[in-house]
């Protein structure tokens, strides 16, 4: 009798997947994740930000019909919205799903659009985290662009992560360095997000993103001056990440 590969728990599948692909490169991990039965239904969540074009390009080569989830917080830079349309067309992505918070929830919680000025965590939850969690219900796994070099909370990032025993997070670029990203974009002649040239190496919502000076951490322009390094999409021990965490508490 054949067993369904998804009958195993998420933690068991993550352990087996990390063991199976421990010595593979980013493209191999991504390609295998798209078809490995233990991964299941999978989609890419993309911000269409500064580095997003790398995974989007890989997906366009491997399977253009892969679901690509784009969260429009309705507070994004105009350049991001234009870049999203440009890349989707150029790469011929056929299954881009644009999601937003319900207008009813926005009207109830942030009717005047100023919630970010009072409570950035609540704004991220309303406009980004909650809509994404709803969108992810259709998947057994999702692909992220997270990398070890981005923050202390990501220093031990694996290719496959267990997200609250609900689904798997796949991080094909976990081991890539900034120069790997630049080389990939250059070698494939991929268009950069227009704000990168204006000093935005990490791009989120317009009200909470500022330019980064030379020598600063690339993510220092996100929620500048606040004890916050994540929007809340990624979870640690069942809780949304709100700020820097000791290395031993990082995601598994």
Whether 101 contacts 41, CB under 8 Å? no
Measured between alpha carbons, how far is 31 from 28 in angstroms, rounded to an integer? 5
Measured between alpha carbons, how far is 80 from 47 in angstroms, rounded to an integer? 8
Measured between alpha carbons, how far is 133 from 136 in angstroms, rounded to an integer? 5
66 three-state secondary structure: coil
For residue 231, indicate whether it is catalytic: yes
Which residues are within 8 A (CB) of 233 and not within 5 positions of it... i.e. 6 or more apart?
45, 128, 129, 132
Q: In what order do the strands lie in the sheet with 167-170?
A: 96-99, 68-71, 42-45, 141-143, 167-170, 160-163
Whether 58 contacts 166, CB under 8 Å? no
- Which of 124, 205, 208, 231 does the annotation list as catalytic? 231
Catalytic residue numbers read 231
């Amino acid at each position: 009798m054949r067993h369904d590969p998804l009958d195993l728990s998420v933690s068991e599948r993550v352990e087996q997947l990390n063991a199976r692909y421990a010595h593979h490169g980013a493209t191999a991990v991504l390609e295998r994740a798209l078809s490995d039965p233990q991964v299941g239904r999978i989609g890419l969540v993309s911000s269409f930000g500064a580095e997003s074009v790398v995974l989007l390009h890989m997906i366009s080569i491997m399977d253009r019909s892969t679901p690509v989830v784009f969260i429009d917080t309705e507070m994004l830079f105009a350049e991001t919205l234009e870049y999203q349309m440009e890349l989707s067309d150029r790469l011929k992505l056929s299954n881009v799903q644009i999601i937003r918070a319900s207008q009813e929830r926005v009207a109830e919680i942030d009717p005047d659009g100023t919630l970010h000025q009072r409570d950035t965590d609540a704004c991220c939850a309303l406009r980004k985290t909650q809509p994404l969690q709803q969108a992810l219900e259709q998947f057994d796994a999702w692909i992220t662009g997270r990398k070890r070099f981005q923050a202390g909370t990501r220093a031990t990032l694996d290719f496959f992560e267990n997200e609250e025993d609900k689904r798997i997070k796949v991080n094909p670029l976990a081991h890539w360095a900034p120069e790997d990203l630049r080389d990939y974009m250059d070698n494939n002649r991929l268009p950069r997000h227009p704000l990168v040239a204006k000093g935005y190496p990490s791009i989120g919502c317009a009200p909470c993103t500022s330019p980064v000076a030379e020598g600063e951490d690339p993510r220092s322009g996100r929620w500048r001056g606040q004890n916050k390094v994540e929007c809340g999409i990624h979870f640690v021990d069942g809780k949304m990440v709100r700020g820097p965490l000791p290395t031993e508490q990082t995601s598994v």
